[in-house]
Amino acid sequence: MNNYQMLYSEIGLTSEIIGLATGAIEIPNCSTEQPARCYGYPPALIPFWSDPDGMIYTGLWKHWFGDRTPCFVKNYVNVFYRSKEISRSPEQLLRYLINIEISLAEEISPEILSFAQTLGVRDIALIDEISQTHGDAPRGLLNLPDFFQNAPLSCFSDPSTYSGDFPHIAMKLTSDSMRNTCSLELNETIENTIRAHEDCPMWYNNYKKTELFSFFMDQERLAEAWFTLNSNGWLFADVYKALERLASAHDDPIFHMMVSAWCSKDQGRYKIGY
């Protein structure tokens, strides 16, 4: 996925994240695919690397419309392409990754130490202590200074103490808050709760997604078209067409760059849609 490299720079990713995403900095776990293999993915995901065991992406979750803050996620191909927030800053993502590597190796191997030094991560001894106590459970990361503020949703067993805007079961459901969500970032409990709400957005109901997308585009309601596009019920063959139409209505060269990168991939090679 090296054709994403220019996009990575344009959206402001750090050199360390770009190095990981392009494979210039190799992750010690030999099974990790850098750059990410294309198993198909929704447009809100900008993939960095992938894990072939279960076909799991790590990448940036970015809504190009609406007022949501981009974050880093794992996206699970075999769980209907659903995403979970794992970090809210590049510094958090690097430590999340190193914690997993230490947990897998059950030690700080020379390769992991060199990896951390290349990434500029100096608190590896503290990460190791956390790994010994908590394994790779994200809640352990709350003991790291980079997680003292703006910790990701994955760290919380009680999401009522979470300060971000990734959808969760404790979020206040209003017409505005629900319109800034899509099904690919919800678990079943949250989705069913939204579906039962009187102000449930149309893309959570059983409308044909291509027709609903066209309905919003005809009315120039681009944000609602975007959240429809990132909800379950699409064939990849139709997503190509929808993205091209959305790009023609949105004068943002970086968005156009994303659309071009997404459309350059054989999205339907493994699955027909999401």
Domain boundaries, the chain: 2-263
Give the closest residue to 13 by CA, choosing from 265, 258, 259: 258
Three-state DSSP at 233 gives coil
Residue 90 has what pLDDT?
98
**Cis ω for the linkage preceding 35 (within 30 of 0):** yes
Give the closest residue to 39 by CA, choosing from 21, 57, 60, 18: 57
* Distance (Å, whole) CA 257 – CA 274: 22
Which residues 6+ apart lie within 8 Å of 265 measured at CB? 1, 38
> Any idea what DSSP says for residue 182?
-
Radius of gyration of the chain (CA): 19
Task: Measure Cα distances from 184 to 77, 187, 261 in Å.
Answer: 11, 8, 20
Residue 3 has what pLDDT?
77
The answer to whether 101 and 27 have CB atoms below 8 angstroms apart is: yes
The sign one gets for the Cα dihedral 96, 101, 103, 108 is: negative
Across 125-181, the runs of DSSP E, i.e. the strands, are none
The sign one gets for the Cα dihedral 123, 25, 255, 50 is: negative
* Distance (Å, whole) CA 179 – CA 200: 8
Q: What is the pTM of this model?
A: 0.96
Give the closest residue to 50 by CA, choosing from 23, 14, 88: 23
Per-run averaged pLDDT (10 residues), the chain, 274 residues? 85 98 93 96 98 96 97 98 98 97 95 97 96 95 97 96 96 97 97 97 96 98 98 98 98 97 96 97
Residue 1 has what pLDDT?
52
Please state whether 81 falls in left (phi above 0), alpha (psi between -120 and 50) or beta: left
Three-state DSSP at 157 gives coil
